[in-house]
Amino acid sequence: MSAAAYAPPLSDRDVAAYDAGAGARHQERGAELVEEADVLGDGARVACFGCRTGAAQNAIASRLRSGDALVGVDVSEPAIWTARLRDGHEGLSLAYEHAPTTATPLRSASFTHAVAVHPLASPPQRTALFAEMRRVLQPGGQIVVAMPVRGSFPELLDLVREFSLKHDKPQVALAADRCAQTRLSIETLASDLEEAGFTDVDVDVQLLAVPFPTGKAFAKSSVARLVVGPDLGELLEVDEAMRERVVAYAAEAVGKYWSESAFELAVNLAGASGWVPGEPPRNSMPPLLPALS
C-alpha cells in the first residue's frame, strides 16, 4: 500500500464480512466516545476519515443537532456505497465520499472536527493523513484519532518470528523487530500531531485485552483479516508476497495454538486530540479510546 493510503481496501465481499462481523463494531466503539461526551455544539461539521461502511454514523450522529453535518471518506468505493444505503437522521446532513488517497475532495477549513479510528500508521501514511485532517479543519477545529501504539499485538509479532525460524527467513525476524520499533509511541503520536500544526495536544492510552471465545474465532474474524492483519502487514518491511504469507501464518497459528481455548488480543490503544490555532468551538472532544470488539 502506498503512503497515500489511510485505510485498507475493502472489496464487495469484504464489505459484507466487515458489516456482519466484529470489524464494524470496532468502528462503532470508536465513535461511542463521541456519543458519551457532550462535545459538539451548534453548527458542528464532522469529517470521518476511514469511515468504512458508515458504522460510526449512529454514535456520532446522535450527538449532532438538526442542521449539523457529518461527512465520511474512505478509500473503498464498495464501503462508501454501503454507507450511503444506511438510514439517515432527520435534520442531519450526511454524505459519504470516495477518496482513494489522502488527497480527499473535502473543502479546506470547512469542518469543526476531524476523526480517524485505527488508520494505517506507517510514518509516511500518518504524516499525510494528519496533514490532510489539518487542511480540512477550520481555525479552532479539533482532530481526534485513535490508534494502536507500541506494545500492541505482541502475540502476533512472536508468531511472525516463529515463521522466520520455521522457514529460515531471517529477514522476516528483522522486519518483526523493526515493526515493533516503527509502531508509533505516545510521544511520537503527540510529536506528529504538533508537527502537523496542532496545539494543546493531549494523548491518553489504555491497555486492552480484546477477547475472542477461541483462537479459531479470532483467525476467522473480520478484525483479524480486515483490521489487525492490514495494520501489522503495513509495518512489516518485506515484499508484498512475503507480507501476505507472514500475516496469514500469524492468524492461522493463533487458530491452531488456541483452537479450543479463549484468546485475548493485547492492544495498547492511544487516543489523541489536538487543536488548530484560532478561536475554538464552544465544546471539545476528549481523546478517543475505543475497544476492538
Q: Is residue 30 part of a domain?
A: yes
Q: Is residue 58 part of a domain?
A: yes
CATH code assigned at 257: 3.40.50.150
Check: CB of residue 62 under 8 Å from CB of residue 84: no
User: Which whole number is the average pLDDT over 263-277?
Assistant: 91
- Residue 111, pLDDT score: 93
Nearest to 55 by CA among 92, 96, 93: 96
Distances 184 to 57, 152, 192, 266 between C-alpha atoms, Å: 28, 10, 9, 16
- Residue 287, pLDDT score: 46
Q: Is residue 291 part of a domain?
A: no
**CA angle at residue 238 from 229 to 266, to 5 degrees?**
35
Q: Is residue 287 part of a domain?
A: no
CB count, 10 Å around CB of 108? 11
Q: What is the pLDDT of residues 153-175, one digit of tens each?
A: 999 999 999 999 999 999 999 99
Which residues face 21 on adjacent strands? none
Could you tell me the strand order of the sheet in which 111-117 lies?
Answer: 93-98, 69-74, 45-49, 111-117, 137-148, 263-275, 199-212
Q: Is residue 150 part of a domain?
A: yes
Q: What is the pLDDT of residues 97-149, one digit of tens each?
A: 999 999 999 999 999 999 998 898 888 899 999 999 999 999 999 898 988 99
The boundaries of the domain holding residue 255 are 12-275
CB count, 10 Å around CB of 113? 26
CB count, 10 Å around CB of 36? 11
Check: CB of residue 74 under 8 Å from CB of residue 89: no
What is the count of structural domains for the chain? 1
Q: What is the pLDDT of residues 230-266, one digit of tens each?
A: 999 999 999 999 999 999 999 999 999 999 999 999 9
Q: Is residue 153 part of a domain?
A: yes
pTM of the model: 0.88
DSSP secondary structure code for residue 8 in this structure: -
Q: Is residue 123 part of a domain?
A: yes
Q: Is residue 27 part of a domain?
A: yes
**CA angle at residue 170 from 251 to 223, to 5 degrees?**
15
